[in-house]
Chains A and B, each alone.
Chain A
Amino acid sequence: MRTILHSDCNGFYASVECLYNPDIRDKPVAVGGDAEKRHGIILAKNEIAKAYHIKTGEAIWQARQKCPHLVVVRPHFERYMRFSRLCRRIYSDYTDRIENFGLDEAWLDVSGNDADGESIAQEIRERVKAELGITVSIGVSFNKIFAKLGSDYKKPDAVTVISKENYRDIVWSLPVEDLLYVGRSTKKKLNRLGVNTIGELAAFPLPALRSNFGKWGDILHTFSNGYDASPVMYADESSAIKSIGNSTTAIRDLESDEDVKMIFMVLCDSVCRRLREQGAKAGLVAIYVRDKELLSFTRQHKLSSPTDITEEILDTAMELFRANYGWEKAIRSVGVSVGELLPAGSPVQLTLLCDEHRRERQERLDRSLDMLKHRFGSFCVRQATLMKDPALSAFSPKEEHVIHPVGYF
């Protein structure tokens, strides 16, 4: 049987800020983005702010209504990166199988260690507190999914063991949306089927899950029953990049295809430059759209042949957008990402109908532009289209500090 730990830094950004500012430690504190650039949302909050029901992702003005004396501090991403590294240093004293999930969470496979999972978890919890001055909550279990539930079960600064003996009592009574990857729409669908707890999901007949959710039915069945056998990646494996993406909240609402194209142009430029830096080509393009009511969706498209050409990726993103958005509402944020990455030197099947000469010229053009932007900055050469609204397009995701979230699969 495996022993898996999931360690979660409690209110990570806010805890780090509180460590650095002793004066605000006993006050409700939230870390928030720049309201002037319309990034004015709550990114993290401390335990005191949590008591005022302040939620991650809500606007700073909404949070202030709930808690007028809320202290909002600006984020310091380089600090969070450092603390993430320092946590990892502690974890690496116990195992080399550490899989980060964002900056503030990680799975550790400590199977085969002399000490048992719970004592390792307690030691890590104590050490993080003493050495880093922040707290973690840790779940200990026999698979990654239950370990993650364990780290959410009791916090801050706590350890929860979910064993083969007690998982029915602990896990199965939890609401189904606590399970990893049960989001808003899956929850709704499950609730309609009469499934409200993880236990009810585990007992739900697999064929019926399959007919409702397709291949996700199998995953839901596996997760809820504790059958998940996915391994914790080795330290050096986790650095292999699976996808590259950038998203942004525009300085004003987007109201036409032309607006969206401008933002996509800037995003694709960053994504494709990062792609080419990695020496990779992408087989998949995905877009993310969030309207001003904050409803969001993603759509993806598989490319007929892998590419790193900015123009092709931009065209695919725009096609996806036009096919999937009817402009009922203005748009607040958009994103572009590429996946199914292949080394750029991989053999490629040429097609008869595609003009390969033109593609080669495009590739050479991209390389020349990359060199210019590398030497003189992202703003040295830009598409003339972007000049239609210089304020809207005046951002550079590649240089600005962006933390890219990762997926479980």
Chain B
Amino acid sequence: MKQYISVTATFDADGNIVPLFINWDDGRRFPIDRVTDIRYAASLKAGGAGIRYTCRIQSHEKYLFLEENRWFIENEKAG
């Protein structure tokens, strides 16, 4: 099931959007340690398409998608 999530991000001086934190519904907040790749991509698992950020979060690799102006994360359970 695709779920949009709250993300804290910054705009850098060149206008690029860089996600910093994922804010979970229950109040937990996960820092994004590193973004290793940014590209346009479709998410077949969650169902959508946008800009895909490959993120390292607590030594896990996660795909974070920016679709228009909303963020969603690929959920492994759905796959």
Residue numbers of A with Cβ under 8 A of B are 19-22, 82-83, 86, 129-134
Residues of chain A lying within 8 A (CB to CB) of residue B41: 130-131
Residues of chain B lying within 8 A (CB to CB) of residue A131: 39-42, 49
Residues of chain A lying within 8 A (CB to CB) of residue B48: 19-20, 133
Residues of chain A lying within 8 A (CB to CB) of residue B47: 19-22
Interface 1/0 per residue, B46-61 and A, CB below 8 Å: 1111000000000000
- The answer to the question of B78 belonging to the interface, with a C-beta cut-off of 8 Å to chain A, is yes
Residues of chain A lying within 8 A (CB to CB) of residue B45: 22
Interface 1/0 per residue, B12-53 and A, CB below 8 Å: 000000000000000000000000000111111111110000
Partner of B78 from A19, A22, A83, A130 at Cβ < 8 Å: A22
CA distance A315 to B62 in the complex (A): 63
Please determine whether A133 and B44 come into contact, CB atoms closer than 8 angstroms.
yes
Pull 12 A–B residue pairs with CB atoms less than 8 Å apart, ordered by A: A19-B42, A19-B49, A20-B47, A20-B48, A22-B45, A86-B49, A130-B42, A131-B39, A131-B41, A132-B49, A133-B44, A133-B49
Residues of chain B lying within 8 A (CB to CB) of residue A86: 40, 49
- Give the bracket for the number of chain B residues in contact with chain A: 10 to 19
- The answer to the question of B76 belonging to the interface, with a C-beta cut-off of 8 Å to chain A, is no
B77 to chain A, nearest CB (A): 12
**A-B pairs, 8 with minimum CB distance:** A133-B42, A131-B40, A20-B47, A22-B47, A132-B49, A133-B49, A132-B42, A131-B41
CA distance A133 to B44 in the complex (A): 7
Residues of chain B lying within 8 A (CB to CB) of residue A22: 44-47, 78
Interface secondary structure of A, over-half rule = helix
Please determine whether B43 and A133 come into contact, CB atoms closer than 8 angstroms.
yes
CA distance A131 to B50 in the complex (A): 8
Taking A132-B40, A133-B43 as given, write out 13 further A-B residue pairs in contact, using a Cβ cutoff of 8 Å, ordered by the A residue number. A19-B44, A19-B47, A20-B2, A20-B48, A22-B46, A82-B68, A83-B49, A86-B49, A130-B42, A131-B40, A131-B42, A132-B42, A133-B49
Residues of chain A lying within 8 A (CB to CB) of residue B68: 82
CA distance A86 to B78 in the complex (A): 26
CB-CB nearest in chain A for B45:
A22
A328 to chain B, nearest CB (A): 48
Residues of chain A lying within 8 A (CB to CB) of residue B42: 19, 129-134
Residues of chain A lying within 8 A (CB to CB) of residue B2: 20
CA distance A83 to B68 in the complex (A): 11
CA distance A269 to B33 in the complex (A): 57
CA distance A131 to B43 in the complex (A): 9
Residues of chain B lying within 8 A (CB to CB) of residue A130: 41-42
CB-CB nearest in chain B for A131:
B40
CA distance A19 to B44 in the complex (A): 6
CB-CB nearest in chain B for A17:
B47
B37 to chain A, nearest CB (A): 13
CB-CB nearest in chain B for A19:
B47
CB-CB nearest in chain B for A133:
B42
Residues of chain B lying within 8 A (CB to CB) of residue A134: 42
Residues of chain B lying within 8 A (CB to CB) of residue A132: 40, 42, 49
CB-CB nearest in chain A for B52:
A131
